Amino acid sequence: MTDLLERPAAPGADRDGGRARLTAAFRLPRIRPEWVTVVSAVLGLCALAPLAGWQRAVLLAVFVLTGPGLAVVLWMRLPLAAAVAVVPATGMALMAGSTAVVTWTHAWIPVPLLAGAVAAVAGSAILRMVLRPRQALHWPAALAPARWRVSMPYACIIAALCGWVLALPGLAAAPESPMGLLFTGTGPVLVLVAAVLVVAFVAALRTRALVSATAAVVALIVVLRLTATLVTDLPVYAWTYKHLGIVDYLLIDHALPSAGVDVYREWPAFFTAFAWFSDVTTLDPVVVAHWFAPVVHLVLALVIGSLAATIGLGRRATLAAVLIAELANWVAQDYFAPQAFAFVVGLAVIVALLASRTHRGAGWLALLMFAALVPTHQLTPFWIFGVVLAFAVTRTIRPWWIVVPYAAILFGYLYPRRYIVFEHGGLSSLNPLANGSGNVEYDGSFDKMVTSLVCRGLSGTIMLLALIAVVVWWRLGRPIRVPVILAFSPFVLLGLSSYGGEAVFRVYLYALPGCAVLIAPLLVTALRWRTTVVVAAVATIAVAAAGLQGYYGTWYLNLARPSQYVLLNSLVEGTRAPATVWSLHSAGMPARGTAAWIPLAAANDSFDSPVVERWPGFLEGFPDAGQFDAITAKAATSAGDTDFVFTDEAREAFAYFGYADPAAVDRFEAMFAASPVWCLRLQDETTRDYRYQPKGCS
């Protein structure tokens, strides 16, 4: 990352409006890449020591994100800017690919796998030192002790972080609000803190204080993404837990679930990777998932910065691109899931491909990372393949036939699994308008419409600014081919599938790095004049506020309480398959969090889907159109147990999305409470589980 801060810019490469200034490094021991690689290997070995689980997890994470990538890059003449993305992504790809292959061979050898990786990393470093040591790296002069002073940007950053820390207890205890976390308790402080950090960033960038600007970006990531971890007891989003269940199953059975249990069974690399991670470190996968989002955002920031620098942006514009991509990312696809993991690796594949234009070895490394990406996620490899195809057609990369091995890997893996893709909506519609309509059919409450309007407005603004930037880049004679492909190629996905109603969200996520690269020079240019500095700062603060509202607007619908997690795991104990677990909505339903759910899913993969998803027309006349009688009749004919789970969060979700008012939900639940065949089996302060018992409650 120091390369992005202190490297001399090539002639014409830095378009920030000022001259590149060369600074001398102060006298500190030089950084030997081989020794850094050896240290990483030692940390990986220490992950096997009898330490606390979280300590072993930190050690192993550092090894994965540095060791394997450094061991490979040592033997390549890769630009340092590109190496910033390639190094962590190589370790992530290796962890995913190797654990998947080992699991496919019906072997489970977590410790030998780590030991082998440590030995390979150390061996690579030692061999490189013996044969031909790499040139040592200098510490950046910007870190010289003579330059250490508390300037205005640093003071703003420190003050903002102190305010954030003081606000955390109020966020954890904040009462519920249909407008989300920002409108309750100390939630407004989050917006204020973000605004102060944006001002610090703009001030630092205008004075070319790049280290201060970097500190502001890191602080923003901490505030935006670590908050959710620190004010909750469990990972947010109910759909996170189905991923945890597969990881738990792998930890217990050391094998993948049987075919047909879950679509992710055929794309297992993410799950095998984190089952291996938890097995080695003894850290509960729930804890890993709880800390996953802030870590993945820090790595993503490095990768986007590397992408911007590799494309040719100057140092200030590179930092601006990272900031824009982070602030405008309201999509919340950063939870413990293959998507977030694959997004990081996929962007690194693109960085390596761009670096291959001058360093051919990077192209082969990109292909290997793509091979690990394919069994990790269903959608991301298709986006990356589309980018590769566009690069080849436009002669951005050579030779053109590089597309052939990418196609062979992607479609060779897909073909045996094509029936699964079509079963789960693959190529479900070739209508881009229908595929981009989202997954909510109702306008919803006023609060929902406000949040939706903010998200749509932010997305539209980013895309519009990207289009304006394309014109500006073209008029200035800057090469626009690569960022245009990155920003607008994801929209092709809308012509293929709705992806369960989520395609439009994934398209925006995939387009965001390219849009940020296009917009960043405009932001830097606006810092030249006092009037435009104010406009740029206010606009960036508005983006930050909109991004926060999009990210935290449905906060209380996405929380998972420890009591709910325990209750739902208790629900499956002794449950007879084929079971049915009805619920009104997924809110407040952290289900499938353990391996105990897998046998029920094996009998019926959709056994616990919300009723509004499984029953077309269920909401017509709800709840007085015979819905209760129909559910009771279905339960009477079921060969297994039938439960109906009511949560306070689902009640609020029905009102939020405009399905029905809370009074209607209460009347519906009262029918179960008054029925002699629906027995209250489990409950906590927010959740009630009714089980159908034809012989009555006893």
Query: Given this model, what pLDDT does residue 30 score?
Result: 74
The token pair at 134 is 């790499």
Query: Given this model, what pLDDT does residue 14 score?
Result: 44
Per-residue pLDDT at 484 exceeds 60: yes
Query: Given this model, what pLDDT does residue 358 score?
Result: 87
Does 232 or 138 have the greater pLDDT score? 232
Per-residue pLDDT at 4 exceeds 50: no
User: Residues with Cβ < 8 Å from 531, sequence gap 6 or more?
Assistant: none
Query: Given this model, what pLDDT does residue 602 score?
Result: 85
The token pair at 233 is 């007891």
How far is residue 6's CA from residue 140's CA, in Å, rounded to a whole number? Answer: 6
Query: Given this model, what pLDDT does residue 605 score?
Result: 82
Query: Given this model, what pLDDT does residue 69 score?
Result: 96
Mean of pLDDT values over 549-568: 94
In this predicted structure, which of 89-103, 247-261, 279-293 has the lowest mean pLDDT? 247-261
How far is residue 457's CA from residue 676's CA, in Å, rounded to a whole number? Answer: 50
How far is residue 226's CA from residue 243's CA, in Å, rounded to a whole number? Answer: 21
Query: Given this model, what pLDDT does residue 332 score?
Result: 86
User: Residues with Cβ < 8 Å from 59, sequence gap 6 or more?
Assistant: 43, 44, 46, 47, 51
pLDDT, one tens digit per residue, over 38-56 is: 999 999 999 999 999 999 9
As a whole number, the mean pLDDT across the chain is: 88
Query: Given this model, what pLDDT does residue 421 score?
Result: 64
pLDDT band at 645 (very low <50, low <70, confident <90, very high): very high
User: Cis omega (within 30 of 0) on the bond before 375?
Assistant: no
Per-residue pLDDT at 263 exceeds 80: no
In Å, how far are 150, 223, 485, 589 from 217, measured between CA atoms? 17, 10, 26, 34
Per-residue pLDDT at 3 exceeds 50: no
List beta partners, residue 644: 582, 690
Burial readout 433-442 (b: 16 or more C-beta within 10 A, e: otherwise): eebbbeeeee
Per-residue pLDDT at 91 exceeds 50: yes
pLDDT, one tens digit per residue, over 78-88 is: 998 999 999 99
Per-residue pLDDT at 120 exceeds 60: yes
Say how many CA atoms lie within 13 Å of 624 toward its Cβ: 4
Mean of pLDDT values over 655-679: 94
H or E segment to which residue 580 belongs: strand 580-583
How far is residue 59's CA from residue 41's CA, in Å, rounded to a whole number? Answer: 10
pLDDT, one tens digit per residue, over 586-605 is: 999 999 999 999 888 888 88
Per-residue pLDDT at 467 exceeds 90: yes
pLDDT, one tens digit per residue, over 401-423 is: 899 999 999 999 988 887 776 55
Mean of pLDDT values over 69-98: 94
Query: Given this model, what pLDDT does residue 495 score?
Result: 65
pLDDT, one tens digit per residue, over 277-332 is: 999 999 999 999 999 999 999 999 999 999 999 999 999 999 999 999 999 999 98
pLDDT band at 149 (very low <50, low <70, confident <90, very high): low
pLDDT, one tens digit per residue, over 492-522 is: 887 666 555 566 788 999 999 999 999 999 9
pLDDT band at 637 (very low <50, low <70, confident <90, very high): very high
Query: Given this model, what pLDDT does residue 5 score?
Result: 42
Mean of pLDDT values over 165-175: 95
User: Residues with Cβ < 8 Å from 349, sequence gap 6 or more?
Assistant: 89, 366, 369, 370, 373, 384
Its pTM stands at 0.91
Mean of pLDDT values over 438-453: 77
- The answer to whether the beta carbons of residues 530 and 206 sit under 8 Å apart is no
pLDDT, one tens digit per residue, over 564-588 is: 999 999 998 888 889 999 999 999 9
Do the bridges between strand 642-647 and strand 580-583 make them parallel or antiparallel, or are there none, so unpaired? parallel
Do the bridges between strand 687-692 and strand 678-683 make them parallel or antiparallel, or are there none, so unpaired? antiparallel
Say how many CA atoms lie within 13 Å of 317 toward its Cβ: 28
H or E segment to which residue 689 belongs: strand 687-692
pLDDT band at 425 (very low <50, low <70, confident <90, very high): low
Query: Given this model, what pLDDT does residue 426 score?
Result: 53
